[in-house]
Each structure stands twice: as C-alpha cells, then as structure tokens.
Structure 1
Amino acid sequence: MDPQELKQGIAELYDESSGVWEDIWGDHMHHGFYNPDDQVSGSGSDHRAAQIRMMQEALRFAGISEDPEKGPKTVVDVGCGIGGSSRYIARKFGAKCQGITLSPFQAQRANALAETEGLADKVSFQVADALEQPFPDGQFDLVWSMESGEHMPDKRKFVGELARVAAPGATIVIVTWCHRVLGPSEESLQPWEMKHLKKICDAYYLPDWCSTADYVNLLESLSLQDIKTADWSQYVAPFWPAVIRSALTWKGLTSLLRSGMKTIRGALVMPLMIEGYKKGLIKFAIITCRKPE
C-alpha cells in the first residue's frame, strides 16, 4: 500500500469507527491494563478503569513524577484519538497538550469534548501527520504515543520526529503493538506468522510490523538515553475478548452495521489479535526513553 493510500485508509477507518467506539467504550481508544489475577467482569466500567490504569502505568514506567508540580507542562499526543490521553494528562498535571491525528472526525470530536469539559484552554487537536509533525524542534517535555506506532509506515521517521519535537531532558513514551523479537538464527518471521499479521494489517491499515528490539535500535541510533522496554501482553490479555463481547451485544451489532465496511472488517479480524497474543507472535510493548539534556 503506498503511503498516501495508507494515510487515507487510516483517516477513513477512524472517521468511520470512532463514534461507535466512544459510544460503547468511552473516550480512551486503547487497550486496558488488567491485573492477570483479577476476574474481569463484563461491565464497561471495569474496562474503562483498565484503560485509565494503562495511562497511569505508562507514566509510572516512564518515571514521570506523580507530583503535579514536577510533572510535564507541555505534551504532544501523537495519534491522539478523540483526546482521552491528552485530557487525562492535562487534568493530572495542569499541562498544555497538543494532539495530532489523521482523522478529521477525531480532531473535531476531541476539540468538542475539550470544550464541554472546560479544558479548551489546556488541550487542542489538529489533523496532522506524525511523520511530519507541525511543531518546532524541542517543544515538548512529554512526547506521548499511545498505540499509534503500529500505523507508521516509516518507523525510523516516526521515532525521529518524536525525538525532534522533544525538549532536552524530555521523556518519550511509546506504547505499541509489535511482533515477537526474532531469535539469533532467524532472518524473518515464519511464513504462517507473516500471513497472520498480513490479515490484521489489511483490516486495520497497518504497514509492516517491527519488534521491540527494532525500536530500541532506532532509539539508540538517535542517542536517546535511559531506554527501557517491557512486554505487557499478559496485562492486556482480557482486552480483545471484551471488545468482541461488546461488539456482539445488540447495541454493538447495530452500531457496527451502521458504521460501515471498514469498521466491520476490523471487527472480523479481532479473533486474529487474540490468537496472535496466545501464540506469542503479537506483543504489547511499552518503550520509554529520555532525550539528552
């Protein structure tokens, strides 16, 4: 898929599906973080709490102080969805947040929610490409990408832009879907694995996947410091089964049918995400680092 077609596909997918998602799941368009020992009920509030926990855990993992005084003051939310993370971070730290997305629907909805929630002076959203961010160098003390990296066709350029807009000493947080790290003797994934990922890519407008190790190499090549990674796959395991259950409710089904083919196609490959996690092919990764002072 050529980059222009990919960008258009991503924008249209989210223009079409974001309303359905918000209707059923609220304003955080990302996985939840679950305690593997807890029994997860079917209630939506459990999952929304887990989505908030995901942001809390990501901030903690990145070493961001809980103290609002010491927290970030300027934030970019790369692939901002309908602005859930930005509003959460703005409230928590009193930070000014700017979000970018390829979807005009998302940017509009995110700004409307900010207005409704009295945060329009703190957060703003615009349509822009993460590979060519519309910001000057060194502007943000927290660079946040919550599940948008998987959509980036050029991971080197993506990481380069995150580093470029980061201020000296800034923290960069990337939470993203990856494939497993290849073994020492492996040149590539196995044919069945590539086929499995291709089906997911076609439905979700994803370019080629990479591993956590690939991200680490890219960050090291940019001389970023304190690079830390973790595989959080076990903590997100209940997420996709819950999304499937919500899609199979009457409300979910009627919303899906109204939303259009791209959303329906996305719903049909959800079992492949579950299978990919179970087989150890798909990893839910967090990668954090710091730009040198």
Structure 2
Amino acid sequence: MSRTGALDLGSGVGGKIEKKDVQSAVEQYEKYHACYGGNEETRKNNYSDLVNKYYDLATSFYEYGWGESFHFADRWNGESLRESIKRHEHFLALQLGLKRGMKVLDVGCGIGGPLREIARFSSTSITGLNNNEYQIGRGEELNRSVGLERSCNFVKADFMKMPFDEDTFDAIYAIEATCHAPDALGCYKEIYRVLKPGQHFAAYEWCMTESFDPNNENHQKIKAEIELGNGLPEIRTTAQCLDAVKKAGFEVIWEKDLAVDSPVPWYLPLDTSRFSLSSFRLTAVGRFLTRSLVKTLEAVGLAPAGSQRVSSFLEKAAEGLVEGGRKEVFTPMYFFLVQKPRQ
C-alpha cells in the first residue's frame, strides 16, 4: 500500500541517496535550473542525473500527497480526484485497445500506479520502464502487495536507449513521463523501434500551449518554476511534440489537449484558494501542515537535512502549475494516439 504516514514521508526523502548527502543533492539539483543560474543545455546534457535526483528527492512527497499515480486528469463535476485519475488511465487503455494476452510497455512508469490499474482493467501484461532505482523498488513492493508480481515487471533503463529488441511490444503508453526526455524525437524513435508494426502508442504530454509567448516574462517565469519543481530539462510546445512524433515515423490517429474541455480545471487540486476534504493534503491548510511536519521531522533527525528545501521547490512548482493552467499557457495532458505503419 502507499506510504502515507509522517514517518514514511520523512524516511523516504532522498530515495537511494545517502541521507547525509541529501542536502548536497538538493543544491546540485537546484543549480540545474534557471531560478538558480542554470540553463536548458546543461539540463539536457545531464538529464539522467537531473531526473534521478528529482525522483529520489520527491517521490515520498508525491506518495504522501497524491497517492500511487503521479499524474493529473481531466475531471467531471462531482468526480473525485482519485476517480478522475482512474478514469484517465482507463481511457488510455481503451484508446490503445488493450486486451488479455497483449504485451505492453509503460514508458517512465514511476512507482507503477497506472501500470497496476491498467493491468487489472485490461488483463494485460505490462512492463514498466524506469531509470530510478528507488521508484522501481517501491513499484515491485506494491506489485507484490496486490499479486501482480508475476504478470507485471519493471526494467531499469534509460528510455533514450531501451534494452529491448525491435518489434517487441503490442502497445506502448507514456503518462506525463517523456517530458523528461532531453530530445523528444530521439525518445519517440526508440518507442517506434520497440513497438510492433501496425500497433499503437498513446501519451499524455506536458507542454506549453499555443498561448505561450516566449517573449512574455511572466510566461517564462511559469515555465521555469514548472521545470524546477518537476525535474524537466525543458518544456516543449504541443506543436513541437506533434512534429517530433511524426518525424519519428508514426501516423497520427488523433491528438488534442484534453485540458481544454475539462469541466473541472485539472489544476484544481493544487489551487490553494479551494478547499477539499478528499484532497486535504493538497490544500493550503494541508500544505502548511505538511511544511510544518517536514520542518519538525528534519529538526529531530527523522528526515534528512534538505527535506524542507525539497518541500519548498515542490510548492513553487505547484504555484507555477496553477498559474500556467489559469493562463492556459501550460497543459499536462496533451494527448495523442499514433500508429506504427504496417510493413
């Protein structure tokens, strides 16, 4: 089950990083970003270290506040956050036409929340690809807890260099994960290579929208805050993602920013002007209590030095995400369904 207790949060900060080295890792991570003098080129050249440090530092906060599925979802009126997340995952499975016996790849699977939900929903065998050792360990533990350790597995590898033969998988998906790639085209080409001819790839991508103005200082600030708080080398536009997936060789079946028609704003769980009992830890009061909790745990040595700084940049990310959503310059759910041509 998810680790949702205070001690789990404190002890999990840093992942596989030695606890004595967490503060140093935070400082190194921060220096990659524009807010601390870093630049896009450095992040791209060091994307593996950037992303690994981020998820070692942030995973326990995600589990504590969000649960096992680290992603947003379009949401209907009257629907809870957890219900919308499950429906978002089921929608992906249905778009891919997943069914019993198919061999599926989850690119950038996190701790496997969507993997487990989709595997149970579709009766498929799913391999989760992840380059973070700590998250894989958590995913394997959670798979065992629900009896999926035989049908689903994890592979530790870089999605820019996948350790699979050509034409291996019957379907592939990525949920808010390939945004971590330093080069979208290179990542999509790898996905194309390991997907069987005639089969489908579907993704939810983090993107700047058509409303984003690179010459607008406020828009650039929003972009920088999201990159800092989410371990991103850069955030591409929807047009850049679509162009990259086409150049990789895929045929586009359909694509759309699903945030546009969502009856409930996707960023609502992070909006501190709203209150929700079902998502209490994400509200202003909940975040204040978490901040105080982390400060106390760090002070008494139950959380490593640097934990408060992780909490701080995650809150900064939340501010950027809400502002990006309100101004409609950012979306976490640019969706596309594409097909590898039959040979």
Q: 1:170–1:290: 8 Å Cα contact kept in structure 2? A: yes
Q: Cα deviations across residues 22-51 of structure 1 (Å, max 9, x unaligned)?
A: 23322111113311xx156xxxxx221111
1:226 Cα deviation (Å)? 3.6
Give the stretch that moved more between structures: 258-267 or 162-171. 258-267
Q: Secondary structure at the match of 2:93?
A: helix
Q: Secondary structure at the match of 1:248?
A: helix
Q: 1:13–1:262: 8 Å Cα contact kept in structure 2? A: no
The letter for the 1-side match of 2:255 is T
Question: 2:5 — aligned with what?
Answer: none
1:179 Cα deviation (Å)? 0.6
Q: Secondary structure at the match of 1:169?
A: strand
1:1-293 equivalence runs, <5 A: 1-3=42-44, 5-35=46-76, 38-39=77-78, 46-60=80-94, 62=95, 64=97, 68-69=99-100, 73-181=102-210, 189-192=214-217, 193-234=219-260, 235=262, 236-241=266-271, 244-245=282-283, 247-248=286-287, 250-251=289-290, 253-255=292-294, 258=303, 260=307, 261-283=309-331, 284-293=333-342
Q: Secondary structure at the match of 1:32?
A: coil
1:52 Cα deviation (Å)? 0.5
Q: Cα deviations across residues 47-84 of structure 1 (Å, max 9, x unaligned)?
A: 21111111122334x3526xx45xx7111111101111
Please identify the structure whose Cα radius of gyration is greater: 2
Q: Distance between the aligned counterparts of 1:248 and 1:182, measured in 2?
A: 30
Given the two structures, how large is their TM-score scaled by the length of structure 1? Answer: 0.85
Unmatched tracts of structure 2, length 5 or more: 1-41, 272-278
The letter for the 1-side match of 2:97 is I
Q: Secondary structure at the match of 1:114?
A: helix
How many residues of Structure 1 are paired with residues of Structure 2 in the alignment? 277
1:208 Cα deviation (Å)? 2.0
Q: Distance between the aligned counterparts of 2:234 and 2:56, measured in 1?
A: 22
C-alpha RMSD over aligned residues? 2.4
Q: Cα deviations across residues 99-125 of structure 1 (Å, max 9, x unaligned)?
A: 112221110000111111111111111
Q: Secondary structure at the match of 2:46?
A: helix
Q: Distance between the aligned counterparts of 1:24 and 1:198, measured in 2?
A: 23
Given the two structures, how large is their TM-score scaled by the length of structure 2? Answer: 0.73
The letter for the 2-side match of 1:245 is T
Question: 2:276 — aligned with what?
Answer: none
Identity %: 21
CA gap of 1:252–1:182, structure 2 versus 1, over 3 A, is closer
Q: 2:136–2:156: 8 Å Cα contact kept in structure 1? A: yes
Q: Secondary structure at the match of 1:269?
A: helix
Q: Cα deviations across residues 234-263 of structure 1 (Å, max 9, x unaligned)?
A: 432424326741752635752586472334
Q: 1:244–1:267: 8 Å Cα contact kept in structure 2? A: no
Q: Distance between the aligned counterparts of 2:226 and 2:66, measured in 1?
A: 21
The letter for the 2-side match of 1:111 is E
Q: 2:291–2:311: 8 Å Cα contact kept in structure 1? A: no
Q: Distance between the aligned counterparts of 2:292 and 2:176, measured in 1?
A: 25
Q: Distance between the aligned counterparts of 1:139 and 1:95, measured in 2?
A: 15
Give the stretch that moved more between structures: 157-166 or 200-209. 200-209
Unmatched tracts of structure 1, length 5 or more: 41-45
CA gap of 1:78–1:63, structure 2 versus 1, over 3 A, is closer
